[in-house]
Amino acid sequence: MVYVFLFYLFISFLIGAADYKPFENFIGFLYFVRLTLYWIYWIYLIYWINKHKNNKKILEKSLLILIILTAIYSIIQYFFYPDLRNLIYAGWDPHLYRLFGTFFDTSVAGAIYGLIFFALYLRGMDLVKNRWLLIALLSVNFILVVLTFSRSLYLAFITCLVLHSILKKFWKRMVIFLVVFTFLLLVVPKPFGEGVNLGRMFSVRSRLDDYRAAIKIWRRSPLLGIGYNRIRYEKIRINIIEGFGSDLTHSGASFHSSFSIILVTGGVIGLVLFIFVLLRLSMINEFSRYLVIFLSLMSLSDNILLHPFIIFLFLSLTALYRVSPSRKSI
């Protein structure tokens, strides 16, 4: 299904090529190449893991190092660099007193923390042999999730935890999770700024405007889309962003939702194929199913599924545990 999806995006890109300048087509094609390279990475990673029995252990140890370093650097950022407003000129959002780690974005950082949490929660004893270290890492990542103040993350995170608890009949564990999560929301510091206000409305309005812009561009070619990825140039055409300096805008070639990006660039057909790809990935095993659900829910309001680092982490975890049965968790 992935091959069908990528082939379709390529055909869709070629069909709309005449409507754009050579340079615009070249940049759009590079986006498509990058998307294809993600899949090639997954194929090679599976080959590499199967090539030698020690390679899987190497990847597990590498992921554990990544988990520990991510937690350390995120804590350092929260206490020593809580204000990102000094990088507004570079196109970053002005996050204040929120956890964004080394990713400079609360939603992306939150998706990373969520992936790490579920990797530890569902396959913890594969990655961490020491039970107390596993509990410590789970606790730290649970707190990191809360400190992002990302409501889309909260929704996806709690939904997956509750769903897993219901299916496994972990009723006591579900109650503990909900109580601890609610308690942390009440007690975590909220010094100043609209970003830590969970009732904020400006981000809701921003996303609604973003959805309207996506629908406006999508109507130009509803079935086949405008081609992956020419969003920046369509935004310039309809004056959503200015042509001068548009390459400095991090969101210039995207929309808040990953599904909006695929709908606009691939049309209805592309979106349907993309959903089938996600369903196929979710059927690899139970582990991948929860990761896909988590990322998909977050991607309704933030571009998570198409973010490079999140893709690499997701594909690495999925490739690592695509076949082997789950060991005992905590």
Q: Say if residue 6's pLDDT is above 70.
A: yes
Q: So what's the pLDDT on residue 330?
A: 57
Averaged pLDDT, 32-48? 93
């709309």: which residue's tokens?
Answer: 16
To the nearest whole number, what is the mean pLDDT of the chain? 89
């057909």: which residue's tokens?
Answer: 269
Q: What is the value of pTM for the model shown?
A: 0.91
Are the beta carbons of 11 and 226 closer than 8 angstroms? Answer: no
Are the beta carbons of 328 and 125 closer than 8 angstroms? Answer: yes
Q: Say if residue 246's pLDDT is above 70.
A: no
- Name the percent of the chain lying above pLDDT 90: 66
Q: So what's the pLDDT on residue 134?
A: 92
Which own/partner contact pairs does 321-325 have at CB distance under 8 Å and 24+ positions apart?
Answer: 321/123, 321/126, 321/285, 321/287, 321/288, 322/46, 322/284, 322/285, 322/288, 323/285, 324/126
SS (H, E, C) 244-296: CCHHHCCCCCCCCCHHHHHHHHHHHHHHHHHHHHHHHHHCCCHHHHHHHHHHH
Amino acid 10 reads F
Q: So what's the pLDDT on residue 126?
A: 82
Longest dimension (CA), the chain: 60
Confidence label for 89 from pLDDT (cuts 50, 70 and 90) = confident
**Between 305 and 250, residue with greater pLDDT:** 305
Q: What angle do CA 289, 291, 293 make, to 5 degrees?
A: 70
Q: So what's the pLDDT on residue 244?
A: 46
Are the beta carbons of 160 and 110 closer than 8 angstroms? Answer: no
Q: How many CA atoms lie within 13 A of 55 on its CB side?
A: 14
Confidence label for 251 from pLDDT (cuts 50, 70 and 90) = low
Q: Burial, 213: exposed, middle or buried (Cβ in 10 Å; 0-12, 13-18, 19+)?
A: buried
- Each residue of 71-91: b (16+ CB within 10 Å) or e? beebbebbeeebebeeeeeee
């998570």: which residue's tokens?
Answer: 304
Confidence label for 248 from pLDDT (cuts 50, 70 and 90) = low
**Between 53 and 217, residue with greater pLDDT:** 217
Averaged pLDDT, 192-196? 74
Q: So what's the pLDDT on residue 155?
A: 95
Q: How many CA atoms lie within 13 A of 319 on its CB side?
A: 25
Q: So what's the pLDDT on residue 106?
A: 92
DSSP state, 96? Answer: B
Q: Say if residue 47's pLDDT is above 80.
A: yes
In the chain the beta strands, taken as DSSP E runs, fall at: none
Averaged pLDDT, 210-224? 92
Highest mean pLDDT out of 125-134, 196-205, 210-219 = 210-219
Averaged pLDDT, 302-315? 93
